[in-house]
Amino acid sequence: MAEDNTTALNEPYRPYGADIKETRPYSPCRAACPAHTDVQAYVGLIAQGKYTEAFEVITSVNPIASVCSMICHHPCEQACRRCGVDEPLAVRHLKRFAIERSQDYRRAKRKLTKKTRGKSIGVIGSGPSGLTAANDLASLGYDVTIYERHPVLGGMLASAIPPYRLPREMLNEDIDDVISKGINVKTGFEIGRDRKLEDLMKDHDGIVIAIGLSQSRSLNIPGVEGDGVLLAIPFLEDVAFDRKPDLGKKVLVIGGGNVAMDVARTARRMGVKDVSMVCLESAEEMPAWKWEIDEAIEEGVTIDNRWGPKAVKRENGKVQGLEVVKVNSVFDDKGRFNPSFDDKTTKIIEADTIIITIGQMSNMSFLKDGPVKLDERGLIQWDRDTHMSSASNVFVAGEVVTGPGSAIAAVASGHRAAMALHLYLQGEEIKGNLPEHEKDKIDQLPGKVVDLLDREQRQEIKHLPPEVRCDTFTHFEIGYDEAEALKEAGRCRGCGGGAVVDPNRCMACLTCLRVCPYGAPKVFAVSEIRPEYCQACGLCAPECPGQAISMVSYDVNEIRSSMPDIIGKRDPKRSDPVIAAFLCTHHTGVGGFNVPGNIRTIPVHCISRVDVLDVLSAFSNGADGVAVIRCADGSCKYKGVAKRVSSRIGRARELLSMLGIENERTEMLTASSTNGNRYSSVCTEFSEKIKELGLRSS
């Protein structure tokens, strides 16, 4: 795929309809993504085999796309409208597939950006928020330097998230994309220790503080001080930087969140067979994602729910275990975290090492008594609307100010901070001009529409078996192959990419209302196509007598304008007929599809798009025969297409016969989507028939 796109390397790719989409409610997947990645667009591109285009859509808003393809908690999937039908789209896995297919392309694309602004920016911290801010500001033409106290870039991604979930090669691809813009990097450089913030503010025109929450909280219980009790983040850092501590035979992890899961599963991979966890919450209340808990249990980690830590038991200083007390409840009636205990019920859980994973905080010591003010709780004072700290040219991004969240939320925060700083340096108003958090979105699928949709199983991703994966830090998920990815992408309903009516052309004729299989149009003074119903099939657009309907996600006139190029020059001495074959992009775009050269394939979103005029145009551009190839019943993702299109073909034949073009030259044929070869053989058989009929002379 890479070579096809080399010419486009310098122009950022924009999916069709990108501008219109901004003015309309978002698909729920996109609205749910903190960075508002256009999921509908890129999944649609994957379904058509356009992998590098999909990559462009993803990376246009997410500089750590590879990372997210591995570890994102994918709020897009939780919001997916397919949840109402069967299961959500496997968006994260599709993202991974598109990125894996674009590796050569992305490497070839890296290049320096010009430093046109004559201003320099210092970014403190290189986690998702710092990297994003640096990336955006470099793209805008600033001279950017990143300061990172660790020896490598990436923040928690590099120093805490274990490599069995996030392979470092993936992280490094993202980092290389960003750094290749010409960003200066100072690693092993801690602000406060190696240079004071006040001095850094003199070195640069603007500063972004993106230091995350890089310290673990500890417990204030007897026996906690001393060997054998570790804190989560330093422990994970030690593992990440190959300073693996000795854990003994039994490890107990305190905590029930995602970080606790990572700690427990990391301990398993360090050869500890007996890893248990203890947390205040019941199994249902645990804050960790359900899939993280399931995977930990698969790996042999045991969980003791509803116990609170009371004291670390030691003998001669060596840890023996943890005394715990029974929890009555974790939350009070108002739903606030306020645990109560049954002091009479206690027990001791044996352990050689205890790892405390109960939350994180920032190290703000370098800010004490400086120009960036802290509030009474010791947190940075900032304005959410402008990302500005109390010092006017110091901006803040990521978890240091937002509190714990996800990598992609930190990315979104990085975008906002970068834009804020840019506006500030331009002397422009910041408030109201930053990327929005909340976007209007399309409602869930109406029940009537759900009833019309086929159930299609989600393509599950394979995991290395637990016995194998616990012995190694290698990544345990096995990505999709092409067939799986195409099948999964084909499940997407294209929400928000459907029909829109131009009110200046609509004469309220009701045709669309009568044609639509999903009941999407409502006609008042003009037609209004309701996006929550519309499935973007495209059946209505060619039927509209006023040509008032267009599709957000694809160009309904593209076929006719590209026809001369596709059909090309017709050789008067040709021996094989020139055949124009309309095929669904969902089958022609992909690898392994081959037809003889005399068959000119015209990819269409669905043959529902093929109109009388398109057939006429194929003949007027010189085709000897026109085949419209439909996908067999059950494999087309839309309803009612075949019947409509065959009546259009009837009409086209009627008109063509007035011009002396025989009916046999226009045909609707059927192939099955599960068999790419069938598509090409259907085309070849048709070509043979036309050959017998003879070539057109005029």
Partner 1 sequence: MIVGSQKPIDEIWDMVKEFKRVIVFGCNTCVAICHAGGSKEAETIASMLKMRSSNEGVDMDVSSTSVMRHCEPEYFDEVIDELRSYDLVLSTACGVGVNFLSERIGNIPVYPGINTSFFGAVPEAGVFEELCAGCGDCILHMTGGICPVARCSKTLMNGPCGGTNEGKCEIGKDVDCAWYLIVQRMKDLGTIEKLSEVIPPRSWSTSRDGGPRRVSVEHIREYEESAEQKTEAGGSK
Nearest 5°: phi and psi at 665? -75, -10
In angstroms, the CA 327 to CA 339 distance is 7
- What contacts 495, CB < 8 A, 6 or more positions away? 27, 28, 29, 40, 81, 442, 531, 536
Instruction: Tell me which amino acid residue 59 is.
Output: T
Q: Give yes or no for a contact between 288 and 198, defined as CB atoms under 8 angstroms apart.
A: no
Looking at the Cβ atoms of 86 and 274, the one nearer to ligand SF4 is 86
Q: Which two tokens stand for residue 27?
A: 């698909």
Phi, psi of 134 (to 5 degrees): -60, -45
Length of the chain equals 698
Total residues contacting ligand SF4 (rule CB under 6 A)? 45
Nearer Cβ to ligand FAD, position 44 or 127?
Answer: 127
- Return contacts of 464-470, CB within 8 angstroms, 24+ apart: 466/298, 466/299, 466/300, 469/164, 469/299, 470/268, 470/269, 470/299, 470/300
**Per-residue binding letters, 344-363, with ligand FAD (x by CB under 6 A):** -------------------x
> Sign (positive/negative) of CA torsion 197, 200, 202, 205?
negative
List the one residue from 73, 81, 93, 181 that touches ligand SF4 (CB under 6 A). Answer: 81
Out of 42, 147, 382, 424, name the contact with ligand FAD by CB under 6 A.
147
Binding mask 213-242 for ligand FAD (x = CB under 6 A): xx---------------------x------
Question: Using CB under 6 A, which of 128, 206, 538, 603 touches ligand SF4?
Answer: 538
Residue owning tokens 């074959």: 581
* Shortest reach from residue 77's CB to ligand SF4, in Å: 8
407 binds ligand FAD (CB under 6 A): yes
CA distance 446 to 534: 10
Site string (545-584) toward ligand SF4, x via CB under 6 A: -x-xx-----------------------------------
Shortest separation between residue 499's beta carbon and ligand SF4, angstroms = 4
Residue 327 tokens read as 């929890």
Chain residues that interact with partner 1, rule: CB under 8 A: 504-505, 507, 509-511, 514, 544-547, 612-613, 616-617, 619-620, 655, 658-660, 698
Side-by-side strand order, sheet with 318-331: 307-315, 318-331, 337-350
Q: Which does 82 bind (CB under 5 to 8 A by kind): ligand FAD, partner 1, ligand SF4, none?
A: ligand SF4
Please tell me whether residue 43 binds ligand SF4 under the rule CB under 6 A: yes
Q: Report the alpha-carbon distance of residue 338 to residue 331 in Å, rounded.
A: 5
Q: What does the alpha-carbon distance between residue 204 and residue 145 come to, in Å, rounded to a whole number?
A: 9
Look at residue 488 and give the partner it binds from ligand FAD, ligand SF4, partner 1, none, a contact being a CB closer than 5 to 8 Å depending on partner kind: none
For residues 355 and 231, the answer to whether their CB atoms sit within 8 Å is yes
The span from the CA of 326 to the CA of 280, in Å, is 8
Distance in angstroms (rounded) separating the CA atoms of residues 652 and 644: 13
Identity of the residue, 89 or 293, whose beta carbon is nearer to ligand SF4 in the bound complex: 89
Considering only residues 534, 610, 671, 683, which one is a binding residue for ligand SF4 as defined by CB under 6 A?
534
Q: Which residue, 155 or 490, is less far from ligand FAD as judged by CB?
A: 155
Span of 81-89, 215-223, 384-392, 579-587 interacting with ligand SF4 by CB under 6 A: 81-89
Tokens of 153: 């870039």
Q: At closest approach, how far in Å is the CB of 544 from ligand SF4?
A: 3
Per CB under 6 A, residues contacting ligand FAD are 71-73, 124-130, 147-150, 155-157, 160-161, 190-192, 210-214, 236, 258-259, 262, 363, 366, 398-399, 405-408, 410
Per CB under 6 A, residues contacting ligand SF4 are 27-29, 39-40, 43, 80-82, 89, 91, 492-495, 498-499, 501, 506-512, 515-516, 518, 520-521, 523, 526-527, 529, 534-540, 544, 546, 548-549
